[in-house]
Amino acid sequence: MRKKYRAEWVFIIIAVCWVVLCRASDVTAEEPEKDTRPNVMLEDIVVSAEKTTEKFQTGDVDLQISPTFYSVIPRKSFEGKIEGLSDVLKKETGVQIRSSGGMGSFSEVSLRGSSSDQVMVFLDGVLLNDASGGGVNLSNISLFDVESIEVYRGFTPINFGSASIGGAVNIKTIRTEEGLKASALAGYGSFDTYQAGAFLNHKPSRWDYLVSVDYLDSENDFEFDNDKGTPYNPADDETENRHNAQFDQMNILTKVGYELSNTSRIDVFNQYFDKAQGIPDWRNNKSTDTSLETERNITALKITLDDLGKWEINSATTLSYSWKEEEYDDSLGQIGLGRQHTIDTTRRLGGKFYADTMLGFNLLAVQLEFNHETYEPDDLITSRSPRDSSRDTFSASIQDTLLLLNERLLITPVLRYSLTRDELESSVSAYGVTLKSRDRDNSNISPQIGLKYAPFYWLTLKSNFGIYLREPSFFELFGDRGLFLGNTDLKEETGKNFDIGFEMKKHFDFNGLNSASFKAVYFSSDVDDLITRTFDARGVGKSVNIDETQVRGLETGINIEFLDHFRFIASATWQDSENLSEVSSFKHKDLPGRWEKSFLGRLEWQIGDFTAHVEYQADKNMYYDSANLLDAKDKEDISAGLKWVHNSVAVTMEGRNLQDNQYEDFNGFPMPGRSFYVTIKYFPFDDEKK
């Protein structure tokens, strides 16, 4: 077993130093207190990025009163760069990313030691997680049309309906603004990577519309050391280029809106995404031509009605339809077991209603949601197709935010009810065996409570507790693609989450220090019946339950602005994940796929038209397997970038993994070494924010 660090002492030491610094600045600078009201109603602290300035709409999370620990990543932190959602998220405290290769390859997110299945990912409030199974592939989400990214750890706001064990990531696309705005971007980078995009926003009156189109492709033929699957036999090692890892993708977003009045509005948006990629095998065989094509379309209609009746009710009603088709072609049997050529189609029809109103010292909110989802797999090689599945879900949530002590104390109890019905249709197997239909029903109640207290204007204390669950997916229940067997006896995962911590932010006026913020959070998660995958000697997998697991950890972050032109950002996460099952041979082993320690340090400076940064990231101590026999190599990544903005032109240059080290988030799937990227943006009708 690895040594477990006493991270609590780091928590205490930094907190004491902060209080001493704050009191010293009060005496030295005699800073006038312009606002003695609590931090509850002021801007929350976001150590890793500034808060966005986008227009608030009913249905959005009111971050000023939310007790959850969150981060907001604004567009300016990733705009004009050739990078994916995974590259942006991995810089956040408590967030870990695992990728199966270079740009465009499968990537998954973990929050506070959760599995990727336990993290809900939304696009403008529309759930991207499929009942068919697996966490969301982050590489299938373009950043070109994204306004901001919200990360909620543990406590899931009522605005998203059902809660999840790990938390939620909400991706908010660009919203229309007043006037005319237009821009175009082109970029090039290592491994023959190309990017192009164009954007148009127009709001002449009550009508407004927005169009965003972008294209990205890469050969992904990075160089790596191939040990041919024999790490203890260096004689057959070769330096090769990655084969069949190329991809290209297109993303189109359109929005149309109309203001019915000052308090009512209707919006329609549609996002289309198409991606074709090669799938390399672990041996890096040059003849491999296995491919995967993903096509997705999401359409949503939102009606916002505010200040209704004598209670001044604010409401948002959303109707959405999403469709996704994945075609997997391994007709020669180069990747999996046997020949496979399948088309899997997922459709979801959903409706959501949210309303809130202020009643005295209570902010009352309710949420109702219904989804009907179908999963239709089609086998193009055999004469018989797998069975279709469907899932119906209904959830009702109520939240009451009590504003006490002149709004310095907020108490937020939440109660959620959910009902799930699964149906597996009857069919005939490829061997002529009759397969009976199966139904599965489950309902549950999930309570949460959050607390937010601001004893001083510069200090905010938060704590949250909740009970959450996750239904097994169709993939886990019924199997998929011949590589995974179904297990209809699976139980749902049940989690109990707790966190407690503080956030501080203070402005200074001495010795070149402009402002500083700091946060520290202790968190714990106990998950019963955790769903995990086991593999037999043939490499065939099956999902099973682990009756007891736990994760304990600490998140810290600091942000310092000094000498008017400089900013230093640092964060660290320590977490201890453990298998506590009494019936498992892996008891007291670390859960696989979770880094024990993650660090980030970033220095930024801005002088005139130039903005530059240098960044260091590290992930340490992770096992690939449940037995803790396969150690992952510790990761250390240094990157640097420079941005120049003048008149209507912005040029961005960035270098990543400057040490040219080779890592593998998944055993046997190498990631690229040193790489460089440059983009040019032209914005004749826009205001570029430096």
Looking at this protein, which amino acid is placed at residue 194?
A: Y
Structural element, H or E, at residue 177: none
Please give the torsion angle defined by the CA atoms of residues 103, 108, 109 and 113, in that order, rounded to the nearest 10 degrees. -130
Closest to 265 in 3D by CA, of 350, 207, 181? 207
* Nearest alpha carbon to residue 149 among 49, 44, 254, 268: 49
Question: Mean pLDDT throughout 511-520?
Answer: 91
Q: What's the mean pLDDT in 428-445?
A: 68
pLDDT top residue among 670 and 16:
670
Query: Once rounded to an integer, what is the mean pLDDT over residues 425-444?
Result: 67
pLDDT at 45 (0 to 100): 37
Q: What average pLDDT score do residues 22-32 get?
A: 42
Report the candidate in 626, 673, 671, 669 with the shortest Cα–Cα distance to residue 335.
669
DSSP 7: H
Average pLDDT rounded to a whole number, residues 521-529? 95
Most confident segment among 37-51, 573-587, 606-620: 606-620
pLDDT of residue 12: 45
CA nearest neighbour of 112 among 553, 659, 630: 553
Segment 398-416 mean pLDDT: 95
pLDDT of residue 542: 78
Mean pLDDT of 620-635: 92
The answer to whether 389 touches 344, Cβ cutoff 8 Å, is: no
Q: Mean pLDDT across the stretch 374-380?
A: 88
What does the mean pLDDT of the chain come to?
Answer: 86
pLDDT at 434: 56
Mean pLDDT across 260-264: 93
CATH class of 7-473+487-510: mainly beta
Q: What's the CA gap between 239 and 321, in Å, rounded?
A: 47
Q: Is the pLDDT of residue 626 over 90?
A: no
Placement of tokens 């109103």 in the chain:
357
Nearest to 166 by CA among 472, 546, 551: 551
Mean pLDDT of 50-60: 69
* pLDDT reading at 156 higher than 70: yes
Whose CA is closest to 251, among 97, 149, 145? 145
pLDDT at 20: 42
Distances (CA, A) of 256 to 178, 180, 259: 13, 14, 11
Is there a contact between 642 and 610 (Cβ–Cβ < 8 Å)? yes
Average pLDDT over residues 278-293: 88
Residue 686 is predicted with a pLDDT of 59
Q: Looking at residue 583, what is its pLDDT?
A: 79
Q: List, for residues 68-80, the tens digit of each pLDDT value.
A: 999 999 999 999 9
What's the pLDDT score for residue 436? 66
Question: What is the pLDDT, as a whole number, of residue 285?
Answer: 86
Q: Give, in order, the Cα–Cα distances in Å from 384 to each of 380, 427, 601.
A: 9, 9, 55
Written as one letter, the residue type at 358 is M
pLDDT value of residue 294:
95
Alpha carbons 228 and 240: distance in angstroms, whole number? 11
- pLDDT score for 426: 64
Segments making up each domain of the chain, as ranges: 7-473+487-510
Burial (CB < 10 A; 0-12, 13-18, 19+), residue 1, is exposed
What pLDDT is stored for residue 208 in this prediction?
95
pLDDT class for 36, splitting at 50, 70, 90? Answer: very low
Looking at per-residue pLDDT, the higher value among 224 and 439 belongs to 224
Give the pLDDT score at 33.
38
Q: Confidence class of residue 24 from pLDDT cuts 50, 70 and 90?
A: very low
- pLDDT score of 226: 87
pLDDT band at 337 (very low <50, low <70, confident <90, very high): low
pLDDT in tens, 1-21: 333 333 444 444 444 444 444
Residues in the chain, overall count: 690
Tens of pLDDT, residue by residue over 177-235, are: 888 999 999 999 999 999 999 999 999 889 999 999 999 999 999 999 888 777 777 77
Would you place residue 474 in the very low, low, confident or very high pLDDT band (cuts 50, 70, 90)?
A: confident
Considering only residues 293 and 29, tell me which one the structure prediction assigns the higher pLDDT: 293
For the chain, the 3-state helix, strand and coil shares in percent, each to the nearest 5, are 5, 55, 35
Q: Mean pLDDT check: name the lowest of 317-321, 432-436, 561-565, 608-612.
A: 432-436
CA 296 vs. chain centroid, Å, equals 18
Does the pLDDT of residue 661 top 90, yes or no?
Answer: yes
Q: pLDDT value at position 431?
A: 44
